[in-house]
């Protein structure tokens, strides 16, 4: 039998399966006569569909026939079961369902391509690329391909209801899949399950209900939490959503009820005026064995050694280096750093040298965007800390943009679903490059001046950060409620 992790086999809790079936059946002119589950596992979702429907034909497939026969599937008498790899099997999957199923439901495997246990080999990836084209991007989770396959399996007037990893909503590698499913159908409903839905899988989940046909513009139904509590629907234009970079804004207000709605429309973005960069695993694992406690101050060093700045050390406008401990590769340090002279020549040395310029460093997995300036260019960011090197915009202007409460609200909405927990933002280089710039140049300059003066010792840094943040809310033309929200999330604005 194939290992469970390699198959992404995490079975759906009974009440979640029932709610998924109920959401899939509601709002339709007639009940489906055929229901298919292409990743049927032990058959529990089809068993729930059978209980909800009087007269229905059931179709199932899974690579694991034993699970189906042992579970509720084994007692579903007339259900047609195929033991096959659905992603590569020829269409139509079930020969007696040539026009597709009225309803395709499922909880496809979540096979994280960054996880060595579930990552595909190059040949398998190439096969999927031939079949699904550009939907197979760098680290595409296979759940995205299942969603595309499920849409193709549904009849022309059919429906699809699938549980999905929440990262599908905003991950960059899922963008081609999001576009493809909105070419094949229209979003009709979305459930935000969040964390803790599956006991044996630490993953945030959502569910999508899509119709193959029907009006393109509609009120998308929404539900939240383990009990599928219904919330206000959203008016969504399917064609506009197809072109949108993220579906995160559809659920952002369900994850953080106080999140201010901000519309940051601008042609110019941070990536036009600054270079945003991120280290990868190679940099992290390359530097980890070289870390020592280097002592001293984080800026203005003369001994050539470089302070290493972790996400945990970054607060909005301040760095806690030397004031509180940092964890790096399982060890705790009080003044972590490296000596660039210890670096072997090559890529890592070049990467470290390129970091040692004036920049803004930005933490990841934080409740708001947390940037701090390194005007002397001493620090080395410890992955996943990002760096923003000023280009045509000054260092202080870059810092002001990243401290802006509306930018944090925007980032929260756009990255919804991608972070490790639903309370955090996964700040990535593409996200930062796409941050819209503020329309009010003068207010932006004022905020930058406040930050620069405070750096020169004029005024208390926490006050300067709050003043700059408030000024930037005005620079974006947003309501002051964004400041209130930001201050309640920003955490440590004062020392240490």
Q: By rule CB under 6 A, what string of x and - marks binding of each residue 71-110 to ligand SAM?
A: --------------xxx------------------xxxx-
Cβ–Cβ < 8 Å for 273, 393: yes
**For ligand SAM, which is the closer residue by CB, 37 or 152?**
37
Cβ–Cβ < 8 Å for 34, 102: yes
**For ligand SAM, which is the closer residue by CB, 2 or 122?**
2
3 state SS of 126: helix
Q: What does the radius of gyration of the chain's CA atoms come to, in whole angstroms? A: 25
Using the structure block, give the residue that is written with the tokens 């300059």.
445
**For ligand SAM, which is the closer residue by CB, 44 or 50?**
44
Q: Which residue is nearest to ligand SAM (CB)?
A: 41
Residue 84 burial class via C-beta count within 10 angstroms: exposed 0-12, middle 13-18, buried 19 and up: middle
Shortest distance (Å) from residue 158 CB to ligand SAM: 18
How many chain residues are in contact with ligand SAM, going by CB under 6 A?
Answer: 24
> HSE on the CB side for 400, CA within 13 Å?
33
* Pairwise CA distance, residues 449 & 330, whole Å: 39
Q: What residues numbered 31-70 form the site for ligand SAM, per CB under 6 A?
A: 37, 39-41, 44-45, 61-64, 67
**For ligand SAM, which is the closer residue by CB, 62 or 378?**
62
Candidate segments 4-12, 222-230, 377-385, 460-468, binder of ligand SAM by CB under 6 A: 4-12
Shortest distance (Å) from residue 107 CB to ligand SAM: 3
**For ligand SAM, which is the closer residue by CB, 223 or 444?**
223
Please work out, in degrees rounded to the nearest 5, the angle formed at the alpha carbon of residue 116 by the alpha carbons of 113 and 119: 40
Residue 346 burial class via C-beta count within 10 angstroms: exposed 0-12, middle 13-18, buried 19 and up: exposed
Query: Does position 24 bind ligand SAM by CB under 6 A?
Result: no
**For ligand SAM, which is the closer residue by CB, 141 or 256?**
141
* Pairwise CA distance, residues 291 & 125, whole Å: 37
Shortest distance (Å) from residue 45 CB to ligand SAM: 5
Shortest distance (Å) from residue 452 CB to ligand SAM: 52
* Pairwise CA distance, residues 58 & 258, whole Å: 43
Query: Does position 9 bind ligand SAM by CB under 6 A?
Result: yes
Q: How many CB atoms lie within 10 A of CB 194?
A: 20
Residues near ligand SAM (CB under 6 A): 7-12, 37, 39-41, 44-45, 61-64, 67, 85-87, 106-109
């Amino acid at each position: 039998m194939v290992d469970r992790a390699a198959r992404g086999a995490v079975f759906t809790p009974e009440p979640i399966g029932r709610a998924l079936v109920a959401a899939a059946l509601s709002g339709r002119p007639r009940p489906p006569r055929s229901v298919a589950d292409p990743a049927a596992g032990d058959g529990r979702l089809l068993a729930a569909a059978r209980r909800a429907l009087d007269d229905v034909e059931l179709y199932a497939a899974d690579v694991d026939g034993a699970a189906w026969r042992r579970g509720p599937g084994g007692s579903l008498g007339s259900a047609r079961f195929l033991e096959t790899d659905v992603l590569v099997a020829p269409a139509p999957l079930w020969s007696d369902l040539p026009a597709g199923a009225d309803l395709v439901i499922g909880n496809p495997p979540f096979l994280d391509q960054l996880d060595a246990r579930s990552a595909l080999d190059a040949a398998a990836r190439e096969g999927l690329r031939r079949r699904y084209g550009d939907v197979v991007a760098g680290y595409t989770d296979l759940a995205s391909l299942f969603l595309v396959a499920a849409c193709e399996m549904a009849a022309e007037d059919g429906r699809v209801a699938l549980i999905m990893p929440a990262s599908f909503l905003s991950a960059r590698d899922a963008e081609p899949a999001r576009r493809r499913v909105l070419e094949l159908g229209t979003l009709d409903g979305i459930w935000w399950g969040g964390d803790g839905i599956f006991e044996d899988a630490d993953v945030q989940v959502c569910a999508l209900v899509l119709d193959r046909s029907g009006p393109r513009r509609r009120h998308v139904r929404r539900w939240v939490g383990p009990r599928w509590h219904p919330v206000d629907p959203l008016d969504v234009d399917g064609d506009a959503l197809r072109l949108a970079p993220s579906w995160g804004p559809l659920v952002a207000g369900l994850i953080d009820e106080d999140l201010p709605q901000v519309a940051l429309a601008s042609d110019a973005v941070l990536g036009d005026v600054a270079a945003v960069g991120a280290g990868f695993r190679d940099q992290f694992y390359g530097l980890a064995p070289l870390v020592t406690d280097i002592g001293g101050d984080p800026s203005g060093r003369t001994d050539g050694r470089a302070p290493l700045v972790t996400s945990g050390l970054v607060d909005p406008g301040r760095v806690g280096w030397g004031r509180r401990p940092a964890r790096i590769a399982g060890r705790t340090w009080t003044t972590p750093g490296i000596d660039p002279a210890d670096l072997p020549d090559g890529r890592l040395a070049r990467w470290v040298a390129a970091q040692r310029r004036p920049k803004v460093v930005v933490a990841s997995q934080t409740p708001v965007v947390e940037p701090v300036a390194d005007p002397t260019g001493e620090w080395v960011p410890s992955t996943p800390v990002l760096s923003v090197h000023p280009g045509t915009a000054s260092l202080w202007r870059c810092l002001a943009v990243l401290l802006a409460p509306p930018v944090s609200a925007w980032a929260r909405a756009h990255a919804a679903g991608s972070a490790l927990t639903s309370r955090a933002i996964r700040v990535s280089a593409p996200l930062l490059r796409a941050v819209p710039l503020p329309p009010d140049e003068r207010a932006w300059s004022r905020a930058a001046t406040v930050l620069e003066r405070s750096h020169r010792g004029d005024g208390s840094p926490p006050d300067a950060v709050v003043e700059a943040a408030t000024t930037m809310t005005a620079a974006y033309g947003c309501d002051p409620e964004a400041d209130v929200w930001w201050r309640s999330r920003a955490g440590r604005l004062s020392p240490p």
